[in-house]
Amino acid sequence: MSITFQDIKNNREVQTYLQKGNDALGVIGFTEHGFAHAGICAATAADILQTLGYDERTITLARIAGYMHDIGNCINREDHAQTGAVMAFQILTRMGMPPEDIAEVICAIGNHDEHTGSAVTPITAALILADKSDVRRSRVRTSSTVATDIHDRVNYAVYTSSLTIGPQKGELILSLKIDTAISAVMDYFEIFLTRMMMCRKAAEFLKLNFQLQINDTRLL
């Protein structure tokens, strides 16, 4: 049975687990991990693979993995990648997705966290890049925490961001514009260095050279 991305978006289980996970993370002070983040990750992962010439099935599975990757947060933030993969396995099995496709999706979900994951497939690599590049002001739930929480401060300071593949398809560029009156560039590295190293490895898996540019200055 062919499962579409719209089928996933319309699925009540997926909607519920995403919402409950995002609510739980809000209580413990995390940035937005709900429908907006899911949609951005789905679109970005698909765009990366489409630009690189992957087939439609792979692109669709990347879109699905991108949308579902954070459902495990409704159980606990700890090990959410692995619990989310198991939850996705159950949901997709009930929906009738072929095992070969399920395996691709749950592998990507289970490998997207920087503490335990690795880029082991094209879909996994695309999801890692999509997830770790989603840095934006609108992910901050309340501006009252900007002065005291470094994660909120860094996200709030980013007023534009883009992830693009260069014209020769050899470079993947994450470009950020940061208001340094809100957050120093070094604050970004303090919390995101591990994630950027994961992005570099994911890009390498796709035969791309990862570059980080902040305020038009190349830093990686």
Q: Is the pLDDT score of 123 beyond 90?
A: yes
* Mean pLDDT in residue range 183-209: 94
* Mean pLDDT in residue range 52-70: 98
Contact 178, 214 (CB under 8 A): yes
CA separation for the pair 39, 41 (Å, rounded): 5
- Report the pLDDT value the prediction gives residue 1, as an integer from 0 to 100: 64
pTM higher than 0.75, yes or no? yes
Strands (E) located in 121-182: 158-165, 171-178
Percent of the chain with pLDDT strictly greater than 90 = 90
Q: What pLDDT digit, counting tens, does each position of 165-178 carry?
A: 987 779 999 999 99
Contact 18, 48 (CB under 8 A): no
Domains of the chain: 5-218 (1.10.3210.10)
Q: What pLDDT digit, counting tens, does each position of 134-165 carry?
A: 999 999 999 888 988 888 999 999 999 999 99
Contact 220, 196 (CB under 8 A): yes
